[in-house]
Amino acid sequence: MPRSIQGRLGAAAASGVYGGLALLLAALVGMFEQFAKRPILAPLAGRGEPVTLDLVLLLGGLLVIGYLVARRSAGPDSIAVAKPVPELAAGLAGAAAGLVLALYVLTASRIDLTGILINAKPFLVDFLSLGGGAGPAGLARPVLAGLLLALAGAGLALLPDRWRPGVNRGLMAVVLLGTLQSVLTRQVDWVTQSRRAGGLVAAVVDWVYANKGVAPRGVLAILALALALSVGVRPLRAGLERRFRRLPADQQVRSARLLRGLRVTLLLCLLMWLPLGLGTYPSDVMDTVGIYILMGLGLNIVVGFAGLLDLGYVAFYAIGAYTVAVLTSPASGIGLGFWAALPVALLVSIGFGIVLGIPVLKTHGDYLAIITLGFGEIIRILAISDALKPWLGGARGIQLIPAALRIPLRRFPLVGTMDPQLQQEMYYPILAAVGLALYLAWRLRGSRYGRAWMALREDEEVAEAMGINLVGTKLFAFATGATMAGLGGALFASKVQTIFPASFNLLISINILVLIIVGGMGSIPGVFVGALALVALPELLREFSDFRLLLYGVVLVIMMLNRPEGLWPTAIARRELSSKEAPSA
């Protein structure tokens, strides 16, 4: 008996209610109010107020509800499942979501909730009713808006496959560029002020942005560009590919190698230029991202390759940082230089990696996760305690750690004369460390050890039966991961110059874990994607930082439910996923 159309419509309405509740929760947590200060779209013809991020998110949320519901009900009817008209389902869902918001408006305008819910301010009533207030208009507007936007979302969902990705990407790019306006314009100002170059970039930026938000012409240009790229690039690429295939085999190899060499060289030049060309604040962000990438590469070996869920990874980071701090800070009286202390820090990290690795050899899965979490906490508690205060400085930490690299004032090619700040100087050792870790991770993955790790991850007993030395393999994973974290810690200590035990809490481990999972477990490019999305973006957008951990939590849950293989999955994960889908279809 096929599920009835009515049942399907009921499900659509239920999805709408859930979506509305999610939007309401975001509102009550204070997200919208926080975002109200960031303009995204400039008003038409330059009059009126710009559309701010809060409104974009609310309306975008309603649009997404319609989009998702329509996607689910689109496609041909099958015998088992009768599908309603997608537009109808989407509209119903949107109206239901709007109704949830309207009900909140009705309640909150009559009962004062601020005593309990700190964000249930009058602003929220005004905002969620879309300016309609507590009257009938305030109830009608959200429902109507939900209906219309969900229909628009359905329209988007039903675009032909050829056009849809381009439009989606264009819309996302508009929101992203609008959000980044202040960062981008500040950057462009800095570049144009410090030297004559960059006039063209400045002109483009000026043209795209109005005073506040993306100008209407900018929106159109971005949409057109995104559409052109997604529609135009595919045939272009296919054409190039065809011409490439027609080349003789040896020429194919040679030109591919040449192309790769060219790409790598360009990328390296760009990476070397970035901190000097962009200034201190972006350099600071890049340093942080670099350290996270370094640790992400390390944890990716432990969690992604070997499947050992280590929640106490921050312990090795702390050990690296503290070793360097103790050895170099004048307070302890040893007074080594950074580069003399670094090998010691790495050795100590490896040592701890093995020492903490031995006890967990016999444990698996979640027990391993909890033990490593325990280790991480023990190390932090010890660092903060009075017992080790003479050496580690207790809660006050260790000060005056020297920088790893000092660049004197001088002229730089392409940049001009400048006096690099600490954040810009530290970028280079961090870049070198990331390069090294990347090379190591990449070479290890294909090596005998890498394959042993993956065998271990899939099935420990079978791996052992195939002659893999479990003890050595696991300890090697822990030690490699620990080394990279230790290196990250050492660079971090040298970058911030003062370390406190509070900088080494569990959240760091979670942060790194989230970025690996978002990127795709075991995927090396995934680490970079994850770090850019989860570290760089929140660093640049300060008002997100209040909701950073909340969003991390949501991201973890949603990724696990819908896309456990990550944004940039490894080839194996992709293959497994497609083979899993194939037989069931």
Residue 472, CB half-sphere, CA atoms under 13 Å: how many?
9
Distance in Å from the first CA to the final CA of the chain: 20
Buried b (16+ CB within 10 A) or exposed e, 346-373: bebbbebbeebbeebeeeeeeebbebbb
Asked if 307 touches other proteins (CB under 8 A), the answer is yes
Alpha-carbon distance 487 to 346, whole Å?
6
Alpha-carbon distance 359 to 371, whole Å?
9
- Identity of the residue, 81 or 378, whose beta carbon is nearer to other proteins in the bound complex: 378
CB atoms within 10 A of CB 497: 17
From the list 209, 167, 282, 281, the residue with the least C-alpha distance to 39 is: 209
- Identity of the residue, 31 or 422, whose beta carbon is nearer to other proteins in the bound complex: 31
Helix or strand or coil: residue 163? coil
Structure tokens at 219: 């929106």
Exactly one of 363, 399, 497, 498 binds other proteins (CB under 8 A); that residue is 363
Site string for other proteins, 492-511 (x = CB under 8 A): ------------------x-
Helix or strand or coil: residue 417? strand
Q: Residue 24: which residues within 8 A CB-CB, separation 6 or more?
A: 100, 101, 104, 128
How many contiguous H segments (helices) and E segments (strands) does the chain have?
25, 4
- Identity of the residue, 119 or 168, whose beta carbon is nearer to other proteins in the bound complex: 119
Asked if 487 touches other proteins (CB under 8 A), the answer is no
Alpha-carbon distance 371 to 364, whole Å?
10
- Identity of the residue, 258 or 471, whose beta carbon is nearer to other proteins in the bound complex: 471
Residue 433, CB half-sphere, CA atoms under 13 Å: how many?
31
The H-or-E segment that residue 416 falls in is strand 416-418
Exactly one of 165, 221, 377, 541 binds other proteins (CB under 8 A); that residue is 377
Minimum Å gap between C-beta 567 and other proteins is 15
- Identity of the residue, 162 or 362, whose beta carbon is nearer to other proteins in the bound complex: 362
Exactly one of 107, 564, 572, 575 binds other proteins (CB under 8 A); that residue is 564
Helix or strand or coil: residue 125? helix
Stretch that binds other proteins, among 95-103, 419-427, 492-500, 552-560 (CB under 8 A): 552-560
Stretch that binds other proteins, among 90-98, 245-253, 368-376, 442-450 (CB under 8 A): 368-376
CA distances from 452 to 306, 447, 478 (A): 8, 9, 14
Minimum Å gap between C-beta 115 and other proteins is 7
Q: Which of residues 142-171 bind other proteins (CB under 8 A)?
A: none
Asked if 484 touches other proteins (CB under 8 A), the answer is no
The residue with tokens 């370390």 is 499
From the list 47, 30, 150, 158, the residue with the least C-alpha distance to 96 is: 150
What DSSP character marks residue 410?
A: E
Minimum Å gap between C-beta 129 and other proteins is 20
CB atoms within 10 A of CB 289: 22
Site string for other proteins, 309-348 (x = CB under 8 A): x-x-------------------------------------
Asked if 517 touches other proteins (CB under 8 A), the answer is yes
Asked if 364 touches other proteins (CB under 8 A), the answer is yes
Exactly one of 24, 117, 191, 415 binds other proteins (CB under 8 A); that residue is 117
- Identity of the residue, 46 or 472, whose beta carbon is nearer to other proteins in the bound complex: 472
CA distances from 486 to 65, 311, 316, 523 (A): 44, 16, 5, 21
Asked if 477 touches other proteins (CB under 8 A), the answer is no
The residue with tokens 């992203």 is 176
Q: How many residues bind other proteins (CB under 8 A)?
A: 58
Alpha-carbon distance 273 to 195, whole Å?
15
- Identity of the residue, 126 or 464, whose beta carbon is nearer to other proteins in the bound complex: 464
CA distances from 181 to 40, 166, 186, 202, 205 (A): 8, 22, 8, 13, 9
Q: Which of residues 240-299 bind other proteins (CB under 8 A)?
A: none
Asked if 467 touches other proteins (CB under 8 A), the answer is no
- Identity of the residue, 18 or 273, whose beta carbon is nearer to other proteins in the bound complex: 18
Exactly one of 116, 249, 571, 585 binds other proteins (CB under 8 A); that residue is 116
Asked if 45 touches other proteins (CB under 8 A), the answer is no
Exactly one of 378, 400, 414, 502 binds other proteins (CB under 8 A); that residue is 378
Asked if 557 touches other proteins (CB under 8 A), the answer is yes
Alpha-carbon distance 39 to 54, whole Å?
9
Exactly one of 140, 350, 361, 405 binds other proteins (CB under 8 A); that residue is 361
Alpha-carbon distance 416 to 398, whole Å?
36
In terms of phi and psi (left: phi > 0; alpha: psi -120 to 50; beta: otherwise), the region of 397 is: left
Stretch that binds other proteins, among 160-168, 170-178, 211-219, 554-562 (CB under 8 A): 554-562
Structure tokens at 218: 């900018």
Asked if 560 touches other proteins (CB under 8 A), the answer is yes
Alpha-carbon distance 311 to 318, whole Å?
14
Q: Which of residues 444-463 bind other proteins (CB under 8 A)?
A: 459-460
Exactly one of 223, 371, 436, 540 binds other proteins (CB under 8 A); that residue is 371
Asked if 552 touches other proteins (CB under 8 A), the answer is yes
Asked if 365 touches other proteins (CB under 8 A), the answer is yes
Asked if 21 touches other proteins (CB under 8 A), the answer is no
Burial of 179 (0-12, 13-18, 19+ CB in 10 A): buried
- Identity of the residue, 377 or 543, whose beta carbon is nearer to other proteins in the bound complex: 377
Minimum Å gap between C-beta 29 and other proteins is 3
Asked if 555 touches other proteins (CB under 8 A), the answer is yes
Alpha-carbon distance 186 to 521, whole Å?
36
Minimum Å gap between C-beta 530 and other proteins is 14
Stretch that binds other proteins, among 144-152, 196-204, 275-283, 557-565 (CB under 8 A): 557-565
Exactly one of 151, 360, 524, 535 binds other proteins (CB under 8 A); that residue is 360
Q: Which of residues 387-426 bind other proteins (CB under 8 A)?
A: 387, 389
Binding residues (CB under 8 A) for other proteins: these are: 25, 28-31, 115-119, 307, 309, 311, 358-367, 369-371, 373-375, 377-378, 381-382, 384-387, 389, 459-460, 471, 510, 513-514, 517, 546-547, 549-550, 552-557, 560-561, 564
